[in-house]
Structure 1
Amino acid sequence: MSAINRQILLASRPKGEPSAENFKLVETPVAPLADGQVLVRHHFLSLDPYMRGRMSDAKSYAAPQPLDQVMIGGTAGEVVESKNPHFKAGDKVVGMGGWQEYAVVDADQRGVLQKVDTTHVPLSAYLGAVGMPGVTGWYGLVKIIAPKAGETVVVSSAAGAVGGAVGQLAKARGCRVVGIAGGPDKCRSVVEELGFDECIDYRQFTDLKAMSGALKAACPDGIDGYFENVGGMLLDAVMLRANAFARIAMCGMIAGYNGEPIPMTLPQLILTNRMKVEGFIVSEHMEAWPEALKELGTLVATGKLKYRETVAQGIANAPEAFFGLLKGKNQGKQLVKLV
């Protein structure tokens, strides 16, 4: 087939907050397929906070996003042409197709493209609750925090795709769950839609003493587990209320994504409370994905795991949606619809 593929490239590295100047929209013809290849038309593009780190060339757990190449990103779509015996036109698939409308995939490479069943789980959910964000939440909660019934678990960015899954999985395990989110609408959604016990609006508690007081009121028995997406003052406040042998799963530190310093105020609490603090990258724990996806898929298919999506329209709007994600303007999973 002959089609035009619209792509967004990383044109330059941000200095501070990313801006539209860091991206470039280009159009290229879709190349003809070679043997073993599959052409995928993307229906949805996933936008995620980790992308901000990849835009920088600072040393990190993964290689930087190369300049003048298609921006990295998870995608869900449909096979429109195949020269691979394992895929046929019409198959629904997920992969890392990047910020573009089409991708030519060497589908013989193991794991690069996964077929998904959309009978009971919507295609978009495979980029959220039944995808990388859901597995991230599952791993941090189940393998690091390992909560017991009756314990208190606190979740930052509770209205996001990862945090929302963490809280519901913790509730299913008999925990008291307290979210932290920005604004009354998000907090209301976290409690009423996702089933958290309470949600603290961090915009109402802007210093360490105030946030610590809010946590004390919401967590009268202290904090046993904390799923960390933010860092900075929120981490300090949680540590002040943490119980002995508390566990912290370090997933993200969005407070420092633009290079801001985020020192820890009282690191000695890790010692005096004998706390476990563990950072993790979910792609390094592929052995856990089947178990996680089985639970997440079942919960979504049966309506027991709720999720929200914020959807931007069209590839050209991906950068603006990404900036909104970094500022917390989305609720739940941030997607770009491409068809």
Structure 2
Amino acid sequence: MAPIQNARVLFNSVPENYPIPGETTVYDTTQTIDLEAVPLNGGFLIKTLVLSVDPYFRGRMRKPEKKSYAVRLNLSIYGHGVGLVLRSENPAVEVGKHVYGPNILHQEYVVLKELGPATVLEKHPKLPWTAYLGAAGMPGQTAFVGWKEYSDAKPGEVAFVTTGAGWTKVIASAGSEEKVKFMQSIGADVAFNYKTTDTREVLAKEGPIDIFWDNVGGDILDAAIEHAAINARFLECGSISGYNGAHTPIKNMSMVVGKTLHIHGILVFRLLPKYYKEFYDTIPAKLASGELKYSEDVTKGLDKVGDVILAVQKGTNKAKAVVVVAEE
């Protein structure tokens, strides 16, 4: 078989503030691949179907000398995705199966030497693969394991969730009216746009809060500390307000002591082994039946990844951001 195009999205330059499509990331079509002859070396070849774009991408766009999980310049970016297995030399990965994991390169075809953190996944027949990058995937897993492990939620308590919803009495905030309407539709008791409404005024009226799920950080975290109840639990999942150059200092840290707050950082991969079976035994079925509701912002085309990354960082995406690369 003659080689065919294997388009990819390259990390091209380190952004100073927001990532710039076409500069920070570049859509490249110069690479080719021979699907029948490309060496597998004991691994397997997948066709990329869907890719997740998440807030943590910005943390990877660091200078080469930075340690941690930085992406290397001039190589494909990577993240959570789902791919169809086309060829395999790995007995644990059969042709025709689907692989889901955090190590999927943003390119049309990928050779993986081993599963690593990825897994062979069976899809619920009533769910699309895109759902497995949102509510039935890593973001849903993060909410599931973090809440179960740390919230200690009790009837009658007040929870404040940035960019979301939850149990007990729920105060929820988001950055657009469309997202506010969605949170209202899934049962949030109080939903507001933090860009047009004073968070402190809402919390002063509806609090004090017993549980705070934080995806934003910055001044909203400061406001939550100010309006927290004694012994409140803070579940720190992200701080996107400081990802793109603007860092708001926390002024109320002394209240952490005075209110004896419990602060828990959440990384899904450290907790997921404990809850993996329970999550997949329950959540996909509840999503498929409509018992649990979810929303997606689906973009078609690998060439649009840079635009979607920027949208997620600015908060202009309408829901969980997913890029469809190809159909099966």
Do the structures match in fold with TM over 0.5? yes
Is 1:177 aligned to residue 177 of structure 2?
A: no
Distance 2:238 2:171 in 1: 18
Q: In the alignment, residue 268 of structure 1 is paired with which amino acid?
A: S
CA distance in 2, matches of 1:308, 1:273: 36
Q: Tell me which amino acid in the other structure corresponds to 1:99.
A: H
Find the counterpart in structure 1 of residue 294 from structure 2. 307
Given the superposition, is the C-alpha separation of residues 104 and 113 from structure 1 closer, same or farther in structure 2, using an over 3 Å criterion?
farther
Task: Report whether the alignment pairs 1:15 with 2:22.
Answer: no
Partner of 1:250: 236
Q: Deviations over 1:190-220 (max 9, x none)?
A: 111x221120211222xxxx3211122233x
Change over 3 Å in CA distance of 1:145–1:62 after alignment to 2: farther
Between the aligned partners of 1:93 and 1:62, the Cα distance in structure 2 is 25
1:189 maps to what in 2?
182
Match of 1:225 among 167, 189, 211: 211
Alignment of 1:273 onto 2:259: yes
Q: Which residue of 2 aligns with 1:142?
A: 148
1:29 to 28, 32, 51: 32
Map 1:79-228 → 2, pairs under 5 A: 79-95=85-101, 96-107=103-114, 109-158=115-164, 167=165, 170-171=166-167, 175-192=168-185, 194-205=186-197, 210-219=198-207, 222-228=208-214
Structure 1 residues 68-120: Cα deviation after superposition (integer angstroms, max 9, x where no partner): 1110211112112223333333212212212111111123x444342222424
What SS does the aligned partner of 2:245 have? coil
Q: Answer whether contact 1:211 1:234 (CA < 8 A) is retained.
A: yes
Contact 1:33 1:83 in 2 (8 A): no
Task: Map Cα deviations across residues 21-64 of structure 1 (whole Å, 9 max, x no partner).
Answer: 11122231225143532211111110000010011249988321
Q: Secondary structure at the match of 1:73?
A: strand
- Alignment correspondent of 1:6: 7
Pair 1:270–1:61, CA change in 2 (3 A): farther
Moved over 4 A (4+): 58-61
Matched-pair contact (CA < 8 Å) for 1:72–1:98: yes
Q: How many residues align?
A: 318
Asked if the contact 1:223/1:246 (under 8 Å) is kept, the reply is yes
Q: Which runs of 5+ in 2 are unaligned?
A: none
Comparing 66-75 and 27-36, the one that deviates more: 27-36
Question: Identity over aligned residues, as a percent?
Answer: 29
Equivalent position of 1:297 in the other structure? 284
Contact 2:55 2:312 (8 Å CA) reproduced: yes
Secondary structure at the aligned position of 2:307 is classed as helix
Match 2:44 to one of 38, 41, 59: 38
- Residues 40, 103 of structure 1: 8 Å contact kept: yes
Equivalent in the alignment of 1:67 = 73
Equivalent residue number for residue 163 of structure 1:
none
22 and 202 in structure 1: CA distance in 2 versus 1, 3 angstrom threshold: same
Residue 143 of structure 1 deviates from its aligned partner by: 1.1
Query: Structure 1: which 5+ runs fail to align?
Result: 159-166
Is 1:33–1:39's contact at 8 Å kept on the other side of the alignment?
no
Distance 1:58 1:67, change over 3 A: closer
The equivalent of 2:220 in structure 1 is 234
2:260 & 2:152 partners in 1: Cα distance?
A: 16
CA distance in 2 between counterparts of 1:135 and 1:304 reads 17
In 1, distance between residues paired with 2:91 and 2:146?
Answer: 37
- Tell whether the 8 Å contact from 2:145 to 2:272 is kept in structure 1 after alignment: no
The answer on whether the counterparts of 2:40 and 2:88 sit within 8 Å (CA) in structure 1 is no
Cα separation, partners in 2 of 1:298 and 1:59, compared to 1, 3 Å = farther
Determine which structure has the larger helix proportion and give its number. Answer: 1
Give the SS at the match of 2:79.
Answer: coil
- Secondary structure of the 1:146 match is coil
